[in-house]
Structure 1
Amino acid sequence: MATQQNGTANGVNGDASAGPVSTRFTDIPSAIDIPVQGDQEDEAVEIDLEDLVDDPTELCTLFENERAAKTYWMTVALAYAKQHKIDHAIEMLLRGGSAIQSNSTNPRDKVSMICCLCWMYLWKSREAPRVAPDGTRVSEAKTKEYYLQLATSSLNDAARLNPSFPPIFLARGVLLLLRASLQAPSKTAGGIGSEKHELLKTAVKSFDDALRVSQGKNMLALMGKARALFLYAQVP
């Protein structure tokens, strides 16, 4: 039976009740100007971030030729992610990371790009199948584990460049949560869930580190810690 309110269904005047609105990607502009070399000092190419091309190859080439700053690479990558084109976002971040490394004298300049790449792999892992689909070779299947390995590699690269970079702690906690979710229950009575226990314990520490560097203001870290503690209590 439909919910009734003042004689109407689903809220006032039949309108559905408004749910929470996500603020993810709200800081991504609708367009961005990329400075380019030309006769005029202030020449720029405008890129519509709400109507991006399906193949980012030309954009990557433009950015490489114009030695675009890290901000432009990341903004376009996140604009692709906003449209759920994660593979394109990953391509932008991979090529952008290589370009920034070549153009910058400070290797730490690319840490934020590598960390962002890690988050994209975590996103892909959540959407990927747990096991290889029928007819697909295990070595070629892009499963949850496949993307978690890529995320781990990216996170390790970022940590080598700047181990105290704050976003690393949150990313590591989420990665450990996802890896713990893939652990099968142990059939040995004396060691049930021991590996999962260890993963969750380490995840809690990572979330604690994220909370510490944010003076307790990182709500994602707080929710991640709560999730890890809840799962930890469920494992025998």
Structure 2
Amino acid sequence: MGTAAQLHAVETVGHFARLDAKRHERTGIPEAVFAASKTHQQVVAILARLAEAAGQALATHVSDECAALARRKLGKRFQLDCNPLARTLVARRRGFAPKRTGGRIAVVAAGTADLRVAEEARVTAELMGCEVLKFYDVGIAGIHRLIDPLHQMHEADIACAVVCAGMEGALPAVVRGLLHAPVIGVPVSTGYGYGGRGEGALMTMLQSCAPGLTVVNIDNGFGAGATAALIANRMAAGVRHKT
């Protein structure tokens, strides 16, 4: 389907949603359902329509109550993968086999308190067909914990790393200074007092002197995971094209 046709590929759900049905074909990133600002019924209806059309669909910022409603309403038609820590819900049409792209990234978290955002990034990238290496609780307070993950990332020849950190947010710059691949820094809203709620981490990452580090907004694991997967998938497609 050409770009012009994709721009007009809109599906209506009730009176509350107009779905961008061909977003993945047009941009490489599928449309996701941001559940936090919607009713549970709206989330379930939109998720079902997207999964029916594409084979699978992702909702983010999903509450326990919303996930429970999805299991009741969609459990017979779809395979549901709920991640309470990441607050994500993936619905897959039964019998649907997700395609692997050959893309490979890493998701790194400074501390255990940062895992909810790191997991959102991981779920997103895996939905987009990437292999994800994960390394958690490797922050700079015990920087020796980072040595083995760095070796593994080099050996795996990852295309990109997502690095999530709260508090002072120094880990992404450290990783970027020791890694061959671009790094996407995700400030996490852990921390308190002056510069708390992720603001200090965001400022640290924006002021980094390590070129090749890009930064997304506070707690934006979805955006970081999607962008890292897009980079990795484009690289994998280029390799396939050459061979």
Give the TM-score, by structure 2 length: 0.26
Higher RCO (Cα < 8 Å, 6 or more apart): 2
Give the TM-score, by structure 1 length: 0.26
Instruction: Give 1 or 2: higher strand fraction.
Output: 2
Rg (Cα) greater in structure: 1
Instruction: Give 1 or 2: higher helix fraction.
Output: 1
